[in-house]
Amino acid sequence: MTTNNDVAEERRNFLYIATGAAGAIAAGAAVWPLINQMNPSKDVLALSSIEVNLTNIPEGQSAVFLWRGNPIFIRHRTALEIAEAQASDTADDLIDPEADADRVQRPEWLVMSGVCTHLGCVPLDQQGDFGGWFCPCHGSHYDISGRIRKGPAPTNLPIVEYVFLDNTTIRIG
């Protein structure tokens, strides 16, 4: 049989928990703006695309562009380099295996992020053991398709989103 006391105690426990839960939610809601203010602001998010004229990049050369504060590598690859990249599709030392064909829209144009996937340095062009890029910070070697072959970086240089507006212009972002 429940006495009045038991009922009162149950009510009190319920009120404790309900008050505590409401307080926790309120505290979380109050803290969220303080945390979220550190995320990229609207003006930073708005700076999202650039157009690049490819006619200025001769065959066998690379160019670097700044997009969202980070370097973008665009390489005009030679037939030899394309062949080399495709031949390495089955190499044993690919840390993050990916076919060269999946990394380009047109094989002569390699457009990718210029940020080392290890700790964010900018790899140097045409250096390293695989004729591609070499990151001087901690020794990551990328091949001519931007794939990681040797060193501490965990993934290939990411391909960024881009479209060919015409045969000589691309828009990144």
Partner 1 sequence: MSSDKKYVPSSPTAKWVEDRLPLMGLIYSSLGSGFSAPRNLNYMWNFGVLAGFMLVVQIVTGIVLAMHYVPHIDFAFDSVQHIRRDVNYGWLLQAIHANGASMFFMVVYVHILRGFYFGSYKSPREILWFLGIIIYLIMMATGFMGYVLPWGQMSFWGAKVITNLFSAFDFIPFIGDGIVEWLWGGFAVGQPTLNRFYSLHYLLPFVLVGVVILHIWALHIPGSTNPLGIDADGPYDKIPFHPYYTAKDAFGLGVFVIFYSIFVFYMPDFLGHPDNYIKADPLITPAHIVPEWYYLPFYAILRAIPDKLLGVIAMFSSILILFALPWLDGARIRSMRFRPLSQFFFWIFVVNTLFLGYLGQLSPDDILVFGWTALTFAQISTFIYFAHFLLIIPLVSRMETTKSVPISIAAAVLDANKKV
| Cα–Cα distance for residue pair 12/59, rounded to 1 Å | 78
Q: Which is nearer to partner 1, 23 or 139 (CB)?
A: 139
If binding is defined by CB under 8 A, does position 70 make contact with partner 1? yes
Q: Which is nearer to partner 1, 104 or 135 (CB)?
A: 135
116 CB-contact burial (10 Å; exposed 0-12 / middle 13-18 / buried 19+): buried
If binding is defined by CB under 8 A, does position 158 make contact with partner 1? no
The DSSP output letter for 39 is S
Is there a contact between 94 and 146 (Cβ–Cβ < 8 Å)? no
Phi, psi of 19 (to 5 degrees): -65, -45
Q: Which is nearer to partner 1, 23 or 158 (CB)?
A: 158
Q: Which of 40, 60, 97, 158 binds partner 1 (CB under 8 A)?
A: 40
If binding is defined by CB under 8 A, does position 153 make contact with partner 1? yes
If binding is defined by CB under 8 A, does position 44 make contact with partner 1? yes
Within residues 73-112, the interface with partner 1 by CB under 8 A covers none
- Vertex 168 angle, CA 171 and 65, to 5°: 50
Size of the site for partner 1 (CB under 8 A): 28
If binding is defined by CB under 8 A, does position 33 make contact with partner 1? no
Phi, psi of 158 (to 5 degrees): -65, 140
Within residues 129-148, the interface with partner 1 by CB under 8 A covers 135-139
Is there a contact between 156 and 98 (Cβ–Cβ < 8 Å)? yes
Question: Residue 138 catalytic?
Answer: yes
Q: For binding to partner 1 (CB under 8 A), which residues are involved?
A: 38-41, 44, 64, 66, 68-71, 115, 118-124, 135-139, 151-154
Residues belonging to the active site: 138
